[in-house]
Amino acid sequence: MEVNVITIDGPSGSGKGTISQLLASRLGYHYLDSGALYRLLALAAKRHKVSLDDIEDLAVLAAHMDIAFQMNPEGGSPEVLLEGEDVTDQIRDEEVGAGASRVAAIAQVRKALLDRQRAFARAPGLVADGRDMGTVVFPDATIKIYLTASPEERAQRRHNQLIGKGESVSLADLVEKVRSRDERDMNRDISPLVAASDAITVDTSGKSIPEVLEVVLDIVRHSEISVGTA
Ligand code: C5P
């Protein structure tokens, strides 16, 4: 059976995680949250006291860390496990996110994670969410989408999430963080965040999740992928 791969790349806060999960569950496809791998590596490094400057040990850890994603049969985010422990929430904190962005700039780390990411492509298909899914990891993907939104809107979304979790943060600070994370991700030498030349760009500014999902489903409907009742 042919394995269809749909890549959804874009900056943080563009909505790609939510949209990718909804799309995967609508199509009955597997889901890869590649950002979680970099987050897991940052957390594993902290736990094993590996410095984020120690390239060799980080690459070994990337290749061998014991990780698992447990899909929720009702859809939504998978549970993320590190050495058997549920770290779904821990990998989302700001410190781990900043560490992820640092380890993600190391060529040896990205190389070590390449085959682990490709192993997620199993029948009937995969929705892969990240920064370089369409450019590097799955260059032959059936459909490539690049989701984006203005930095202000992405910061506002993050602000709402944090408020929802009872954390108080300044919006201006978040705009600054979003901009500096973009800067690092877009300007690094290896696998910079960039839309693949054959990707379809969808600007999610001012659009609700169901609206964006509809745009993406329309792209899928107009492709060679059979979507059944999607
Ligand atoms: O998507 P998320 O915010 O969880 O990703 C965390 C970090 O991992 C990003 O800031 C980015 O630096 C890195 N990343 C990457 N390539 C991917 C996915 C994430 O470099 N495919």
Closest atom of ligand 1 to CA, residue 181: 10
pLDDT value of residue 192:
87
Nearest CA to 30 out of 115, 112, 128 is that of: 128
What is residue 101's predicted lDDT score, i.e. its pLDDT?
Answer: 87
Q: What residue spans of 74-208 are helical by DSSP H?
A: 94-103, 107-118, 151-164, 171-187
Distance 123 CA to ligand 1 centre (A): 25
Q: Is the pLDDT of residue 72 over 80?
A: no
In a domain, 194, yes or no: yes
Contacts (Cβ under 8 Å, ≥6 apart) of 19 = 8, 147, 209, 212, 213, 216
162 CA → ligand 1 middle, Å: 19
In a domain, 39, yes or no: yes
User: Longest C-alpha distance within the chain, in Å?
Assistant: 50
What is the pLDDT at residue 1?
A: 64
* CA 225 distance to own-chain centroid: 22
Residue (of 206, 202, 229) closest to 16 by Cα position = 202
Amino acid 75: pLDDT: 67
User: CB-based contacts of 209: which residues, under 8 Å, 6+ apart?
Assistant: 15, 18, 19, 22
Sheet order of strands, 4-9 included:
30-33, 125-130, 4-9, 143-148, 200-203
Stretch 138-157: mean pLDDT, rounded?
95
For residue 9, what pLDDT band results from cuts at 50, 70 and 90?
very high
Please tell me the distance from the alpha carbon of residue 199 to that of residue 142, in angstroms, as a whole number: 10
How many angstroms does the Cα of residue 101 sit away from the middle of ligand 1? 6
CA of 38 to the centre of ligand 1 (A): 6
- CATH number of the domain that residue 20 is part of: 3.40.50.300
Q: Place 185 in a pLDDT band, splitting at 50, 70 and 90.
A: confident
Is-contact 130 31, C-beta < 8 A? no
Instruction: Identify the band that residue 224 occupies on the pLDDT scale cut at 50, 70 and 90.
Output: confident
Q: Whose CA is nearest to atom 4 of ligand 1?
A: 35
| Ligand 1 mutation pick, 58, 131, 157, max ligand atoms within 8 A of CB | 131
pLDDT in the model for residue 168 = 85
Residue nearest to atom 5 of ligand 1 (CA): 35
Query: Vertex 16, ends 15 and 19: CA angle to 5°?
Result: 85
Note whether residue 226 is domain-resident. no
Q: How confident is the model at residue 148 (pLDDT cuts 50, 70, 90)?
A: very high
pLDDT of residue 94 exceeding 90, the answer is no
The total of structural domains in the chain comes to: 1
pLDDT value at residue 191:
84
Write out residues with Cβ below 6 Å of ligand 1: 12, 34-35, 38-39, 97, 100-101, 104, 130-132, 181, 185
Index of the ligand 1 atom closest to the CA of residue 38:
8
Does residue 58 fall inside a structural domain?
yes
Does some domain include residue 69?
Answer: yes
Give 152-166 pLDDT, tens digit per residue: 999 999 899 888 888
Q: Which residues pair with 132 in a beta bridge?
A: none
Q: What per-residue confidence (pLDDT) applies to 122?
A: 96
CA of 229 to the centre of ligand 1 (A): 32
Mean pLDDT of 109-134: 96
d(CA 7, CA 161): 25
Q: For 110, how many CA atoms within 13 A lie in the half-sphere containing its CB?
A: 17
Distance from the alpha carbon of residue 222 to the mean position of ligand 1, in angstroms: 29
Greatest mean pLDDT among 82-86, 162-166, 187-191 lies in: 82-86
79-82: strand order across its sheet: 67-70, 79-82, 85-86
Q: How far is CA 46 from CA 6, 19, 67, 114, 125, in A?
A: 32, 30, 15, 22, 34
Distance 81 CA to ligand 1 centre (A): 18
Mean pLDDT of the chain: 92
Test site for ligand 1: of 31, 101, 103, 157, most ligand atoms within 8 A of the Cβ: 101
Domain extent at residue 59: 4-220
Question: pTM value?
Answer: 0.91
